[in-house]
A = this chain, B = another copy of it.
Amino acid sequence: MSSISELGEDEFNSFFESSPPLKNKEEIVHKLNSFIELNSSSRGRRIVCVTSGGTTVPLEQRCVRYIDNFSSGNRGAASTENFVKAGYAVVFLYRSGTCQPYCRSLPDDPFLECFQFPDNTNIQVNTSHAEAVKMAVMDQQAAVAEARLLKLPFTTIYEYLQMLRLIATALKDVGPCSMFYLAAAVSDFYVPWNSMTEHKIESGSGPLDIRLAQVPKMLSILRTTWAPKAFCISFKLETDSKILIEKAAKALRKYKVHAVVANELSTRKEEVVVVSSSGNVVVRRDSDKPESIVEDNLIRLIVDRHSTYIKESHS
């Protein structure tokens, strides 16, 4: 066990050493510590870190081009709302520009569609979007005001992994009452910072060949070193349903997470499969309720499992 852990740590240390350092590290640490103090120490609330959206991999140091992983951030945003409803405090580690909690029902172009200034001074919300705007403003502000929600944005894989490590470190004392719900789509491949071209790649003549290295597997080090006592849920997204469950089961064994949420790209809003050592459970949205989303039922199941985990940890 210790040899795996050390191997992972070595790989990570060299990855972090070659990463551009996090710009606002002190500010993030300060926000995290205040948030955790307010929730865990004073109120005994459970705390979940929800990661959301895709990470980018720069192809140039002064970044013009990058490789991106597709993720709207819908899953992470909807899950965050449900965790808050279930009494959790949520650290929402999200890709800049992706879907925000309480904002899923807003139209694509909210400032063009939601509002009016009928008398040139007082703003009004159009009736068609009244509920969506109220949710985005009131429910979101309430969650932040009650210290139920801390939003932390990232863009690159370097930022994501460094921030995740900070969060894991800050949550260490919360132990089994903390959870990692890793819905972000993390790059598997990257161009090591040191071997990267400084300037924009020239578009001269002929094809361009790129060699990408594998990103060290963060899940191993999170489970063994960063947050060994936290409840940990990872995600597996595939476009080919035939290999999905098998790959999720493999990830469960390899990383020893507590469950893997398996989703297929084309059906992911209708159903997911929760793969764990106690078997596979299909979770669907309630198709008879139009506003129902799969996350309503998914988070109910995950919270139940977390409760069992906490009980078992204390016994």
Chain A residues close to B by CB (< 8 Å): 56, 59-60, 62-70, 96-97, 100, 102-103, 106, 108-112, 115-117, 120, 123-125, 133-134, 136-138, 140-141, 144, 151, 153, 185, 187-189, 198-200, 203, 205-214, 237-240, 265-266
Contact = CB atoms under 8 A, between A and B. Distances in A.
A265 B62 contact: yes
A208 B208 contact: no
Contact of A240 (B125, B188, B199, B210): B199
Nearest to A56: B68
27 contacts: A59-B67, A62-B265, A63-B70, A64-B70, A64-B237, A65-B68, A66-B70, A67-B67, A96-B108, A100-B109, A100-B111, A103-B111, A106-B111, A108-B153, A110-B111, A111-B136, A111-B137, A111-B140, A112-B144, A123-B137, A189-B207, A200-B237, A200-B239, A203-B214, A206-B214, A209-B210, A210-B210
Nearest to A217: B203
A125 B245 CA distance: 48
Q: 10 closest Cβ contacts across the A-B interface? A: A188-B203, A111-B136, A62-B239, A208-B212, A115-B137, A199-B240, A68-B68, A210-B210, A199-B239, A189-B208
Contact of A199 (B59, B117, B140, B238): B238
Q: Is the interface of A mostly helix, strand, loop or mixed?
A: mixed
A211 B200 contact: no
A169 B70 CA distance: 32
Contact of A123 (B70, B125, B198, B207): B125
A68 B70 contact: no
A275 to B, nearest CB: 18
| Highest count of chain B CB atoms <10 Å: which of A56, A68, A237 | A68
B109 A151 contact: yes
Nearest to A187: B65
Contacts of A70: 63-66
A110 to B, nearest CB: 8
A241 to B, nearest CB: 10
Contacts of A208: 189, 211-212, 214
A68 B95 CA distance: 15
A207 B199 contact: no
A137 B116 CA distance: 7
B111 A200 contact: no
Given A112-B140, A117-B134, A64 B239 contact: yes
A61 to B, nearest CB: 9
A253 to B, nearest CB: 16
A292 B137 CA distance: 31
Nearest to A69: B65
A293 to B, nearest CB: 19
Given A68-B68, A209-B210, 19 more contacts: A56-B68, A59-B67, A64-B69, A64-B239, A64-B265, A65-B187, A100-B111, A111-B140, A112-B137, A112-B144, A115-B133, A115-B137, A123-B124, A123-B125, A123-B133, A123-B137, A189-B208, A207-B212, A209-B211
